[in-house]
Structure 1
Amino acid sequence: MRTVFLASILLIASIGLANASDYMGLFNDNRITKDELANVIADYMLGSSRLSLDEIRDASYVYIHWSGEPKSIVDSANRTITIYKPIKRIVALHSDAVEASMVLGAKDKVVGVSKYTKESKRQFPELSELPSVGSCFDPDIEAVVSLNPDVVISYVRWPDSSKLEEKLELLGLNIAVIRLDFYKGSTMKEEMEKLGYLLDKEKNASKYIEWFEKYENLVKSRTPEKRVKVYTCGKPLRAFGEGTGLYDLSVMAEGKNILEGREGYFDVDPEQVIVWAPEVILRWSYAGGYETNDISGMKTEYEEIVYKPGFKNVPAVKNNRVYVMSADLATAPSFPAALVTVAKWLYPDRYSDTDPREIFQEYIDNFLHINYNVSEQGSFVYPKW
């Protein structure tokens, strides 16, 4: 059955490539001109065009709205991505890209999602009903192709190109893969701006960036002279170093991360954590989030740190400054709400007038547009906001 499916895809691809070649022929000198567009419209009316009506509509849109030129960006994997027609169908391999599409007002373009998005009924009440295309680590190429997407959005790090781009190339399919993370504070604004540009949603991207910068600047304006030492981790001894979303969060909250100079995710010895003597420990968690009101999972993760043998004299443990934050809040487009939350944990006396829950609710109401009350639903932090 799988062989028959792949053979069918290859046949369709060969036809699609011919049509794509005809459409791409319009971009002489990388631009559709008025005369070229007029000629293809005339040919279509005379019944002699090799282009479909949809392709002519796309060409007309590009001529009118894009000045006849394709759109290009450099994605977060440092690759130039060029789009020659308006994006109508998106397969989002990770939930952060799904969330970004909602922020940009483009959720109607999403046609396929990961199995993890399908599990998030509260956060994505509509988009969780879309077809699954596997996971962000191991996408189901057959499922992806069956949805006929214009683009696929994936993480920079996952999946490996052998599981995505190389398979699409082998099938001869003209599907652009755009690698954008939407989970790091340091790249969030740039990625939102780039996707907004490709989707013709620049105004919505600007609205989000303005909101982001409002709270980013708030935190910068309250920077103390002496920064608090922070250790960021998943499991107690699984460190989250430079290049990870949690590291970005701690540094942008004006913390001094003790993992500076160490990249990625790596294991450390308990003795090393004791020597580092962090004043605050920030743990990233999958246990909470939008989908559950049960705080017990995050409480257990908190206790794994505070009751770890040898940790009782670590300043963060000794002074009750260990915090757990859900990935749904910490590493997502909701980042500014997480940023103020962590900044308040680090420097509570400077944020006595600020309730991070209000910022998070603002995000949900103004960008996600879902019926969700963070004061009554979900479990996003432990032990407190």
Structure 2
Amino acid sequence: MKSKIVVLVGIAICTMLLMSPALASNADTLEIYGNANEDDTIDMRDLTCVKLIFFGKKPETELADAKYDGKINPLDFIQIKLIIVRKENELTFVDTTGKTITLEYPIERIAVLNAAAGAVITALGAEDKVVGATEQVLTLPETAKAFEDVPSLGTIMHPCLETTIEVDPQVVFAFAACPGARGVATKFADDLAYYDIPMAFFSFLPDMDTIRSDTMAMGWLFNEQEKAEEYVDFFEKQYDIIEERTKDLSPDEKKQVYMENLDYMVAYYMYQMITIAGGSDIAADVVTPARHVKVAPEWVVKQNPEIILSRNMPVMTYLGHGKTDEEAAQGILEDIKSRPGWSEIDAVKKDKVYLFSLEMATLRAPIGVIYMSKMFYPARFGDVNPDEILREYLDHFYGIEEIPEGILIYPYPW
């Protein structure tokens, strides 16, 4: 199995959610080598562009080196021609973390640690390429039927090296947005490197730039560009509505929100979710992409949030699809509201404390953003039905006509 992995110089672990340097000026750039003019596709314009670069008529671009051999020459002309007609023998792309990966093409065998990646692969109709996946991938409603015969590779926090080697993937797809899972995957990648199995990181959440760049890259990897564009358009439409209805909010009008990943732990991607939904995260000056940050209980009380969202460990245990114990959910809610000093927080006084399931807060974060926007501003989103949007998403991309049973948010906000 031929593969080469190169970490781009200057990319630090703390910028995992940022674009690679070559693409920082344009969020719509397709991060695949051969995209010489750095737009959102690879076509004859790229062939023209790379020829002009070769003859010194245009400055060199990062992605013009289609063969990824460190120089611009006629081999890049040939590679771009092959990519256009999808006859290339290898393809080089940049993942969410800025890592450059070259794979033999076509890609036929993938191991998936990332539930969001599994959902996108299924939406693209490429589920037959998956030869192994973690339990989070195998049990998500979007992927459960498609992957019912796929071997389990353990969990996202404890992937099994032996089984991964046995299924012999060309590449492993891991999750970039969560520092904990990313750290586990990074160590796992070191083990896999010994067996010449590369790892690529994707997030697919929660901002539109990441959704687009990750999904379109995946679309090109599987030659399903039109389906990828359709998936992106679905969320772009919803995000545009949220932006239009919240853009005129003054800082004083924005809801002050506290969202925890675990007890008193705040996360960068949750800050992004709150911001996209039109709220103001009380931890905006605390969070970092590099790691989750623990805040002091008294600090939360002092910030006095108007809305509290929790996805702590008990929530992950008792909420989600297939979990219907409302008594357990109520007990978790009461435990949170009865934390020392929390009786003085406005969110607690006004019953604006909610439990957010793993599906809503992480695995399906873009959908979670849609729910959050209406929770924050019900009057501005009176005509928006998040349940109907979730049903449309499940039905259109996965053929699931009704939302599977389970507690996704507690208490239900409307």
TM-score, normalised with respect to structure 1: 0.77
Aligned to 2:300: 273
Q: Does residue 1:213 correspond to 2:258, yes or no?
A: no
Equivalences for residues 81-96 of structure 1 within 5 A: 81-96=101-116
How far has the Cα of 1:100 moved from its partner?
1.8
Equivalences for residues 39-50 of structure 1 within 5 A: none
Q: Does residue 1:191 correspond to 2:210, yes or no?
A: no
How far has the Cα of 1:251 moved from its partner?
1.0
Q: Does residue 1:79 correspond to 2:110, yes or no?
A: no
Whole-angstrom distance in 2 between the partners of 1:297 and 1:62: 57
Whole-angstrom distance in 2 between the partners of 1:248 and 1:227: 14
- Which whole-Å deviations, capped at 9, do the CAs of 1:155-209 have from their partners, x for residues lacking one? 23425466433223323x2x33111123433522221111112111111110011
Note if contact 2:88-2:105 (Cα within 8 Å) is conserved in structure 1: no
Farther off after superposition, 264-273 or 85-94: 264-273
Aligned to 2:331: 300
Aligned to 2:352: 321
Letter paired with 1:213: E
Whole-angstrom distance in 1 between the partners of 2:342 and 2:171: 48
Farther off after superposition, 100-109 or 181-190: 181-190
SS in 1 for 2:258: strand
Aligned to 2:201: 179
Aligned to 1:370: 400
Residue 169 (structure 1) aligned to one of 189, 193, 196:
193
Equivalences for residues 94-105 of structure 1 within 5 A: 94-105=114-125
How far has the Cα of 1:32 moved from its partner?
9.4
Whole-angstrom distance in 2 between the partners of 1:109 and 1:377: 28
How far has the Cα of 1:354 moved from its partner?
1.6
Residue 350 (structure 1) aligned to one of 374, 380, 385:
380
Aligned to 2:17: none
- Which whole-Å deviations, capped at 9, do the CAs of 1:75-106 have from their partners, x for residues lacking one? 11211122331111110013222112112221
Letter paired with 2:266: F
Residue 204 (structure 1) aligned to one of 227, 231, 246:
227
How far has the Cα of 1:338 moved from its partner?
1.7
Equivalences for residues 2-151 of structure 1 within 5 A: 30=75, 65-66=85-86, 68=88, 70-120=90-140, 124-151=144-171
Letter paired with 2:349: K
Change over 3 Å in CA distance of 1:199–1:209 after alignment to 2: same
Aligned to 1:379: 407
Q: Percent identity?
A: 27
**Structure 1: which 5+ residue stretches go unaligned?**
1-15, 19-24, 35-60
Letter paired with 1:181: S
How far has the Cα of 1:232 moved from its partner?
0.9
Whole-angstrom distance in 2 between the partners of 1:121 and 1:335: 15
Whole-angstrom distance in 2 between the partners of 1:17 and 1:197: 20
Aligned to 1:12: none
RMSD (Å) for aligned C-alpha atoms: 2.8
Change over 3 Å in CA distance of 1:124–1:266 after alignment to 2: same
Residue 231 (structure 1) aligned to one of 249, 258, 261:
258
Whole-angstrom distance in 2 between the partners of 1:233 and 1:108: 36
How far has the Cα of 1:134 moved from its partner?
2.3
Whole-angstrom distance in 2 between the partners of 1:318 and 1:102: 43
Larger Rg: 1
Aligned to 2:342: 311
How far has the Cα of 1:337 moved from its partner?
2.8
SS in 2 for 1:312: helix
Letter paired with 1:337: I
Equivalences for residues 230-249 of structure 1 within 5 A: 230-235=257-262, 237-241=263-267, 243-244=268-269, 246-249=270-273
SS in 1 for 2:107: coil
Whole-angstrom distance in 1 between the partners of 2:228 and 2:83: 23
Change over 3 Å in CA distance of 1:162–1:271 after alignment to 2: closer
SS in 2 for 1:179: strand
Letter paired with 1:179: F
Change over 3 Å in CA distance of 1:30–1:325 after alignment to 2: farther
Whole-angstrom distance in 1 between the partners of 2:293 and 2:257: 16
Whole-angstrom distance in 2 between the partners of 1:79 and 1:164: 16
Aligned to 1:8: none
Letter paired with 2:359: D
TM-score, normalised with respect to structure 2: 0.72
- Which whole-Å deviations, capped at 9, do the CAs of 1:277-308 have from their partners, x for residues lacking one? 11111112413222323334433332222222
Whole-angstrom distance in 2 between the partners of 1:135 and 1:201: 28
Aligned to 1:152: 172
Count matched residues.
329
Whole-angstrom distance in 2 between the partners of 1:194 and 1:299: 42
Aligned to 1:43: none
Letter paired with 1:212: F
How far has the Cα of 1:33 moved from its partner?
5.5
- Which whole-Å deviations, capped at 9, do the CAs of 1:226-263 have from their partners, x for residues lacking one? 2111111134x42323x23x222111101010101222
SS in 2 for 1:81: strand
How far has the Cα of 1:222 moved from its partner?
0.9
SS in 2 for 1:231: strand
Aligned to 1:337: 367
